[in-house]
Amino acid sequence: MEDLLFLVHRIPYPPNKGDKIRSFNLLQYLSCYYRIHLGTFIDQPTDQQYRETVQSYCVSTWFGNLSPRHAKLKSIIGLLCGEPLTLPYYYQYELEKWIKTQCAKHHITRVLVYSSAMAQYVLDAEFSTMQRIIDFVDVDSEKWNQYSTTKRFPMRWVYRREAAQLGQFERKVAEHFNASIFVSDAEAALFRQQLGFSTAQIVAINNGVDAEFFAPDSNRLSPYHSISPRLVFTGAMDYWANEEGASWFAQHILPAIRQTFPSCEFYIVGMNPTAGVRQLADLPGVAVTGAVADIRPYVQYADAVVVPLRIARGIQNKVLEAMAMARPVVTTRTALEGISAEVGREVRVADTASAFAEQVLDILNGKDAMMGIYARHFVEKRFSWAASLPKVLTLLEGSK
């Protein structure tokens, strides 16, 4: 086996949220072909317990503690230096030193970078002979641009600045790296358009879904204590896009649904709910669970899974997982990007509060009895890690 440097902005375990699902599957797969040297950060104290699990896939590891509060203060350096705020947020000298030591000691010739922020560590000329591959996943600069449209001054200015500065950095990385990976054809096409030149190799590699893990199971017990109609939204609830989506649904969509189904309940299921999310539980019919040991029972016994995201980039794993669980899904068009499911047959789509409520009501009235079955068949056919991950190996094995 040859050696591979793998840089990830967040410890790739447990695979319980979008970025960790993808990074863990990459780690697990590539450990079968390379001796992996992993550099990553831990930004949640509870994730310290997973260090040994991650180390079992690697020959060497570097774990840096990242305090979000301290990292945000470091980001101010970006304002002073005219660079993206994201870069100082994820920069630590100790990681830079470890990378150079490992590369020299093990004669590493390949590197996989996961997320744009980690590319700063291997951009110098001394790494130019390496086979450098970056998995951008999403066009992060466009995400900041989306955020800016929802904020007031001064944060609107900060987000617009970050979109512009990070966009320039993303283009620089693409120019220097051998290949750039995105999670969908739509994200890849957007980046090509923003890039302005065609010499960079840009590849779309879909996420996969473990269809055996995310499968209905008659032996699985329901977590609910009533027979009322139940709607579920899952995700990390300290992520602003999820918080905004949950608030929009609870305040502007659920009341219309409860006019027809007064006992309908909306469950917000996910770790780290912010104060704003917790306050939603004061609204009629809204329940906030916080972290749960297993989201599958909540999804399996829901009458519908709702994904009311008005800000989203790339492929939403929560959509794919719900479809794999054979549940009818109502989502916004933004959150369906990169998932070419047939609208009306495999998924329902709505972008306004009234249309969203109407789509959910159709499901609760029994108009989509087969949608869940069609949805699962779609995921099994189109989204498989076994089909996606070998493409990464091919890129890493390109000419050095």
Domain range annotation of the chain: 2-208+384-396, 230-382
Inter-residue contact 159 to 147 (CB < 8 Å): yes
211-236 confidence digits (pLDDT tens): 999 999 999 999 998 899 999 999 99
- pTM attached to this predicted model: 0.87
* C-alpha distances in Å from residue 308, one per residue of 123, 145, 176: 38, 19, 37
322-356 confidence digits (pLDDT tens): 999 999 999 999 999 989 999 999 999 999 999 99
278-321 confidence digits (pLDDT tens): 999 999 999 999 999 999 999 999 999 999 999 988 899 999 99
Inter-residue contact 140 to 311 (CB < 8 Å): no
Cα–Cα distance for residue pair 167/170, rounded to 1 Å? 5
Instruction: Note whether 2-208+384-396 and 230-382 share their fold.
Output: yes
Residue owning tokens 């793998």: 6
pLDDT of 200 above 80: no
Q: Topology of domain 2-208+384-396, per CATH?
A: Rossmann fold (3.40.50)
Q: How confident is the model at residue 400 (pLDDT cuts 50, 70, 90)?
A: very low
CATH superfamily of 230-382: Glycogen Phosphorylase B; (3.40.50.2000)
Q: Which amino acid is at 18?
A: G
Compute how many other C-beta atoms are within 10 angstroms of the C-beta atom of residue 310. 16
Inter-residue contact 4 to 30 (CB < 8 Å): yes
Task: Please name which of 293, 292, 300 lies closest in space to residue 215, comparing C-alpha atoms.
Answer: 300
Give the sign of the dihedral formed by CA 34, CA 35, CA 40, CA 44: positive
